[in-house]
Structure 1
Amino acid sequence: MSENTLDIFKEIFKTQKEYQGEIVEKHINKLRELDEYLPPIQSFFIVTNTTTQLYEFVSKNFEYALGLDIEKMETIGASYWFSNHHPEDLPIWMSAIEDLMLFTMTKVPLEDRSKLTYTWNFRVKNAQGEYLNLYEHQSPTFFDETGKPIIGVAHCSIVGNGEPRPIIGVIKKLNDKNEYETIYYKNYSQKLLNISLSNRELDVIRLIALNNTTKQIADKLFLSHHTISTHRKNILRKLNLSSVVELVNYSLLNQLL
Structure 2
Amino acid sequence: MQPKNTIDLFKEIFDSHQEYNGTVIEQHIQKLRELDVYLPPMESFFIVTNTTKQIYEFVSKNFEYALGLERELMNTMGAPYWFSHFHPDDLPIWMGVLEELMVFTMTEVPREERSKLNYTWNFRVRNSKGNYVNILEHQTPTYFDAAGKPVIGIAHCSIVGKDEQRPIIATIKKLNNNNEYETLYYKNHSQKLLEDNLSNREQDIIRLLALNNTSKQIGEKLFISSHTVDVHRKNILKKLDFDSVQELIQHCLVNQFF
Quote the residue 1:209 is aligned against. Answer: 210
Quote the residue 1:147 is aligned against. Answer: 148
- Could you tell me how far 1:180 is from its partner in structure 2? 0.1
**Aligned residue identity for 2:82:** W
**Aligned residue identity for 2:114:** R
- Could you tell me how far 1:252 is from its partner in structure 2? 4.0
Aligned pairs for 1:40-189 within 5 A: 40-189=41-190
- Could you tell me how far 1:38 is from its partner in structure 2? 0.8
Report % sequence identity: 66
CA deviations 1:89-127 (Å, max 9, x no partner) are 000001011000000000000000000000000000000
Q: Partner of 2:172: helix, strand, or coil?
A: strand
When structure 1 is superposed on structure 2, of 191-200 and 29-38 the one drifting more is 191-200
Are the counterparts in 2 of residues 168 and 255 from structure 1 also a CA contact under 8 Å? no
The TM-score with structure 2 as length reference comes to 0.95
Aligned pairs for 1:27-46 within 5 A: 27-46=28-47
Are the counterparts in 1 of residues 237 and 245 from structure 2 also a CA contact under 8 Å? no
Are the counterparts in 2 of residues 119 and 255 from structure 1 also a CA contact under 8 Å? no
**Aligned residue identity for 2:242:** L
Alpha-carbon distance in structure 1 between the residues aligned to 2:121 and 2:50? 17
Are the counterparts in 1 of residues 6 and 62 from structure 2 also a CA contact under 8 Å? no
Alpha-carbon distance in structure 2 between the residues aligned to 1:246 and 1:160? 20
Alpha-carbon distance in structure 2 between the residues aligned to 1:44 and 1:85? 17
**Aligned residue identity for 1:176:** N
- Could you tell me how far 1:185 is from its partner in structure 2? 0.3
Are the counterparts in 2 of residues 168 and 254 from structure 1 also a CA contact under 8 Å? no
Alpha-carbon distance in structure 1 between the residues aligned to 2:105 and 2:6? 30
**Aligned residue identity for 2:144:** F
Alpha-carbon distance in structure 2 between the residues aligned to 1:155 and 1:66? 14
Alpha-carbon distance in structure 2 between the residues aligned to 1:181 and 1:107? 15
Quote the residue 2:249 is aligned against. Answer: 248
Unaligned runs of 5+ in 2: none
**Aligned residue identity for 2:228:** T
Alpha-carbon distance in structure 1 between the residues aligned to 2:44 and 2:116? 23
**Aligned residue identity for 2:220:** D
Q: Partner of 1:184: helix, strand, or coil?
A: strand
- Report the aligned-residue RMSD: 1.6
Alpha-carbon distance in structure 2 between the residues aligned to 1:15 and 1:94? 28
Are the counterparts in 2 of residues 120 and 255 from structure 1 also a CA contact under 8 Å? no
The TM-score with structure 1 as length reference comes to 0.96
Are the counterparts in 2 of residues 209 and 248 from structure 1 also a CA contact under 8 Å? yes
Pair 1:199-2:190 in alignment: no
Q: Partner of 1:247: helix, strand, or coil?
A: helix
- Could you tell me how far 1:36 is from its partner in structure 2? 1.1
- Could you tell me how far 1:29 is from its partner in structure 2? 1.1
